[in-house]
Structure 1
């Protein structure tokens, strides 16, 4: 059995959506079609909470755009979080662009670099190394000139440049013109080659760096057929705006100045009858990890039920599976334990990862009946046999069983008035083979202490 969830390493630009487990190739195709069709520069925010698979999608898409979708655009993947130690995002972005520029565009790329270098902030210029600015592209031909220029320019002349609006505007136009030259297909009559720059993990950056990236995009890269895709949690990015400008600012309105379109990834897999993406991931990953079949079926069943009312990310599913691998053989196996105890253990496992604020209430069986029903989404829609006198096709057996088990626990086994089709009277046999369960409220602590308290996920 494995502890770590299998990680599908992506070779950037060299592979696309070969195994579309989460059903996201259609989103990738639509994105490619849009960016090839629109001439106006676009900034698209791929919005989603942390752990929802944004980075995986973007790393796949930068290769799929040309390999699978037959796009013309040159794609560039830039990890903003990995670069926020630098003081100037323009230098880092140009370096990433240089890394992807084909050899026949070296001269055009050098013009972009020369134009960009004039904009690097005076204080940042002093400490900027050629390795940082040039990345892995050979800059020998301009390297000496750059060093010489830095050596000759005085601080006063640099400040003078930044203080004169006309000089800044002319230099910015020079940068844009050089960028446009980089897009030239080299054949008469052909359209410009689009550039698509993916900026991932923007919301994880230092707030000042994240907002500077947006400013650089807006002011420097406003060139036809130059598009940006931001991998971002917009709520977190709004917090960065408020850190910089105070709580009084309308952070959402501020970001709309920079972002044209918002995109979210689908939460279901159409090819699998709209199965939730997290369930498809849980089934595949738990199988690859070697979790016993019966246990992983029980686990994915609970994830499916609980995710109806609680957000569970792909990353959280991974942590749940890793935590499951630490459980005792008794819990993971198919024998020697009554099913009710396994049910309670799995719930505790999930709650500890996704709702640590509720864990103590579950552990001490201090939940109210309404809290149980709400947590498991056990409304009449999913528990009643009939609705309006007609058969209810949405009644879900797993929801009924889970809610019944926990209602039995929190009620200390008392005969709660049965409602919504719950198995209150019969559930005791899941904890005692004769149905004589004397202390139900102690089950969570007993289960946790006996089988779960040795190892913990940090």
Structure 2
């Protein structure tokens, strides 16, 4: 399994397969809907990859289970439609029943007035300036006959459209009231921030001007930062205050709280079946490999807790790990902390990954980039794992960059104490003598039995999937 499948959303218990304990947030949102049932726009604002789509689909089913009428509209999948009003009305049509069909047709007729466009007129002066072909100019002049009446037509059209907006809203509100037994319609607009910028802005404008009626609650599932970029793109200026612009359309903003990262790691570890590899019968017979699964999981929890890694990125890292592990014979060293770290930076910081791969860093520079990447904050229980990871990275990179005869010495024996002392300082081991860091480097230097002579090139070959995968 190399891809995380969509969660099965079960009618009657839509959050049954949710591993992030998010039912509680759906209850909060439903209570907001109940409190302000007259109609408003709610934005669920979270970064891309945090599971918004899955959440709103589960919440939508929960609303249905509680007798709410809902519409789910994926704006990104529908931005081929130039006029958002057509798409929005098409979604509303799904609510019609035999007894409400006449009222919907009334709404549709009103919408037709709103979607009417006057074709742009190219006047003779513009034709003279840009077009030199006499035949084309003559044709344009015929089209623009009666141009003196255009302004009057535009004024009349404006009045007609303004009246049409009022009539559209009135008929729409009556239609919605008759479809849901007094409860508001929940109209969910998902993936708005991934649309063409002009389409996204047009949807916002039409929701505001045409659909702001009682009995409709619009739910915008968005990354507000990305949507703000779309706004600036449409108006062609980085100086546009996108935050202020979006505030015109959004009445209430809600962000789904971040899930417990350790619980989610446990879930992904089990979902992708990593235990099946690390604790297989054959690997379990090799004592040096017995703790690989535990080390992998602990390292994942540290990396995901210390850094801003979205749920989707975490899934990608676990999925890639599962795929690559297929290329390891059962009796191979994996060095799970280093293995996971390399996949982690390949996913999130490919430039750093390539610097390691192409031997572009000194040991000191490697340590500095390592610390920047993991954003290390002392966590007591996890400190040893981070120190171990730093030591593994330094040792196996040293093996990779240099041959056995010219490798940098990482420690040496003190002539006075006859004890080893570090020649490279750890950035994670805060003890005065770096004892934990030194102990790991000493254990790695002991040679073949624990894989100490290996360099990380073999991990690059596997991670970059240049070796065969078996299933």
TM-score, with length taken from structure 1 = 0.76
- 2:201 counterpart (199, 211, 217): 211
Tell whether the 8 Å contact from 1:22 to 1:280 is kept in structure 2 after alignment: no
Shift, 1:5, TM fit = 2.5
Sort the Cα spacing of 1:438 and 1:175 in 2 relative to 1 into closer, same or farther, 3 A.
Answer: closer
- Out of 87, 90, 107, the position equivalent to 1:92 is 87
Q: Following superposition of structure 1 onto structure 2, how do residues 276-291 of structure 1 map, counting pairs within 5 Å?
A: 276=262, 278-287=264-273
Query: What residue in structure 2 maps to residue 427 of structure 1?
Result: 440
Alignment partner for residue 388 of structure 2, among 355, 376, 401?
401
1:443 matched to 2:455: yes
Distance 1:94 1:43 in 2: 18
1:216 Cα deviation after fit: 0.5
Following the alignment from structure 1 to structure 2, what is the Cα–Cα distance between the partners of residues 455 and 175? 63
SS in 1 for 2:214: coil
CA 1:179 to 1:281, structure 2 compared with 1: closer, same or farther past 3 Å? farther
Seen in structure 2, the aligned counterparts of structure 1 residues 450 and 169 have a Cα distance that, compared at 3 Å, is closer
Deviations 1:138-164 (A, max 9, x none): xxxxxxxxxxxxxxxxxx99x947853
- Counterpart in the other structure of 1:226: 216
Give me the TM-score of the superposition, normalised by structure 2.
0.74
**1:360 is the counterpart of 2:345:** no
Q: How much has 1:23 moved relative to structure 2?
A: 1.1
Q: Report the equivalent of 2:320.
A: 323
Please say if 1:167 is aligned against 2:160: yes
Cα drift, residue 26 of structure 1: 0.6
1:182 is matched with 175
1:257-278 Cα offsets, whole Å, 9 max, x none, are 111222222212xxxxx44464
Mapped to 2, the partners of 1:14 and 1:118 lie a distance apart of 41
Q: Does 1:17 align with 2:15?
A: yes
* Cross-structure match for 2:47: 49
CA distance in 2: counterparts of 1:317 and 1:123, whole angstroms: 50
- Counterparts of 2:32 and 2:468, CA distance in 1: 46
- The residue correspondences of 1:50-449 to structure 2 (distance < 5 A) are 50-67=48-65, 70=66, 72-122=67-117, 160=153, 164-185=157-178, 192-245=182-235, 246-268=237-259, 274-276=260-262, 278-287=264-273, 292-293=278-279, 297-329=294-326, 331=328, 333=330, 335-337=331-333, 341-363=335-357, 364=359, 366=361, 367-379=365-377, 381-382=378-379, 396-409=383-396, 414=410, 415=422, 416-417=424-425, 419-421=429-431, 423-428=436-441, 431-434=444-447, 443-449=455-461
CA distance in 1, matches of 2:37, 2:372: 48
Length, aligned pairs only: 399
Cα distance, 1:226 vs structure 2: 1.3
SS in 1 for 2:219: strand
Q: 1:54 to 1:257 in 2, by over 3 A?
A: same
Cα 1:224–1:186 change in 2 (3 A) is closer
> Per-residue CA shift, 1:378-412, capped at 9, x if unaligned?
33x325xxxxxxxxxx5543333223323445675
Shift in CA distance, 329/216, structure 1 to aligned 2, threshold 3 Å: closer
Aligned residue for 1:279, secondary structure, equals helix
C-alpha deviations, 1:126-149, integer Å up to 9, x for none?
A: xxxxxxxxxxxxxxxxxxxxxxxx
| Deviation, structure 1 residue 291 | 5.1
Where does structure 2 lack aligned partners over 5 or more consecutive residues?
120-148, 280-290, 399-407, 411-421
Deviations 1:195-238 (A, max 9, x none): 11110010111100000000001001111231111111111111
Change (3 A) 1:209 1:431: same
Aligned to 1:4: 3
Q: Does the residue aligned with 1:94 lie in a helix, a strand or coil? A: helix
- Note if contact 1:196-1:226 (Cα within 8 Å) is conserved in structure 2: yes
Gapped regions of structure 1 (runs ≥ 5): 125-155, 269-273, 384-393
| SS of match in other structure, 2:220 | strand
Q: Following the alignment from structure 2 to structure 1, what is the Cα–Cα distance between the partners of residues 12 and 85?
A: 26
Q: Residues 328, 438 of structure 1: CA spacing in aligned structure 2 closer, same or farther, 3 A cutoff?
A: closer
Q: Given the superposition, is the C-alpha separation of residues 102 and 365 from structure 1 closer, same or farther in structure 2, using an over 3 Å criterion?
A: farther
Q: Could you tell me how far apart the structure 1 residues matched to 2:467 and 2:210 are?
A: 51
> How large is the RMSD of aligned CA atoms in angstroms?
3.6
**Whole-Å Cα distance in 2 between the matches of residues 456 and 182 of structure 1?**
60
- Per-residue CA deviation, residues 174-194 of structure 1 (Å, 9 max, x unaligned), is 11111211233589xx7x320
- Secondary structure of 1:253's partner? helix
